[in-house]
Structure 1
């Protein structure tokens, strides 16, 4: 069975072997990992699911221009306190129906799924409300038990049940120990362990990738989970490695 401890260990070893075999190297994190405000991490995390990332980037850029928000900071800039807070962000939704949120704030009517999905704009508002409920207003609040408590509420939002978007939100907010196990990561892991892509669930991808980190470290390749996740995504976005 693929979920036995022995097999998971073997699969982590195989993933590490594969990463070395294809000469995967760390690449600089892109600007979105240095957003100037925590709400931008929410927007990106929700709108990025199931679509081309170019569409997501355009949505964030458009929102920042409309609201006159700074989009990103220099990689070494402090972010304990962002330029805008979750409370400030939620105030922008007051009095707006979901379709107005989509049109007036984001210029994007994408839904969380084609079947029974809600507008991603509404999902963003509900995601931010969950953060506020547990006292998360800025980067400095992403500590202790608060993120995990907020995640339980977020997973109840249509389209957020897998937890992928919340993990990605935390990565954008600065957590170096998480991955976004999307289809790009799942595809490479499936190839590395010689199974079909649909056999690699998000949870399995998380487990195998994190298991490969110490194996790679033993072989002199120091990776954080977030670094490895992004390097895989960047490689797969350019076409699967052979």
Structure 2
């Protein structure tokens, strides 16, 4: 394991672009929306979708510097992810895409579902496992059994529910042990760690507390 960590750290240092946390979303539904809509999309367009959602629901201070995000997160001003699940149930994916997100992007150009539908389904999973606000995510990540079950359910959602995309959701919700890398992250690092090392094995290596990059 130590050899894998050393090789992964060396590869990450030369091939990954790491940025410190700047601004962050202060409402969990926006974290879900960004994680889903960033699939095969330019970031500027993703931000426009998130802003459209925030404007539609009149979210207070939706994007703040990380240092001051607790002015909303964990207070009565924070809106739970239930609102995304509820509006999805009320409007359906088609109307949510047209009337709220103003984007009909799909999770894949071939047979993918509307990203609006994927966002609804992710929100429903989170509500179903008792994750309503950003502060609830830390408790989920600290409970391995509950986390495995939640990630299994999210993995059933086409597009955003597995691997690096799922890690990105947790990162957006405040887990600083995960990053959004330019490129494939652990997937691209796997062949550099050693022969026969899979994406999953690289991810386990990244999660090791002795690893320099996560």
After TM superposition, the score normalised by the length of structure 1 is 0.69
Task: Verify: 1:74 aligned to 2:65, yes or no.
Answer: yes
**Map of 2:34 onto structure 1:** 44
Work out whether residues 162 and 202 of structure 1, in 8 Å CA contact, stay in contact via their aligned partners in 2. Answer: no
Instruction: Specify the SS of the correspondent of 1:97.
Output: helix
Q: Which runs of 5+ in 2 are unaligned?
A: none
| Equivalent residues in 2 for 1:57-206, closer than 5 Å | 57-70=47-60, 71-77=62-68, 78=70, 79-81=73-75, 83-142=78-137, 143-144=139-140, 145=143, 146-180=146-180, 183=183, 185=185, 189=189, 193=192, 202-203=199-200, 206=203
Q: Which runs of 5+ in 1 are unaligned?
A: 217-223, 226-242
Structure 1 residues 91 and 203: CA distance shift in structure 2, 3 A: same
Structure 1 residues 163 and 215: CA distance shift in structure 2, 3 A: closer
- Residue 210 of structure 1: how far off its partner (Å): 5.3
Work out whether residues 97 and 116 of structure 2, in 8 Å CA contact, stay in contact via their aligned partners in 1. Answer: yes
More displaced stretch, 9-18 vs 157-166: 9-18
Q: Deviations over 1:171-212 (max 9, x none)?
A: 111111123466354697489x499xxx9965355356557x
Structure 1 residues 200 and 129: CA distance shift in structure 2, 3 A: same
Q: Distance in 1 between matches of 2:197 and 2:39?
A: 17
Q: Quote the RMSD (CA, aligned, Å).
A: 3.3
Q: How many pairs does the alignment contain? A: 203
Work out whether residues 179 and 206 of structure 1, in 8 Å CA contact, stay in contact via their aligned partners in 2. Answer: no
**Map of 1:18 onto structure 2:** 14
Q: Distance in 1 between matches of 2:201 and 2:95?
A: 38
After TM superposition, the score normalised by the length of structure 2 is 0.77
Q: Distance in 2 between matches of 1:110 and 1:13?
A: 35
Structure 1 residues 13 and 66: CA distance shift in structure 2, 3 A: closer
Structure 1 residues 141 and 190: CA distance shift in structure 2, 3 A: closer
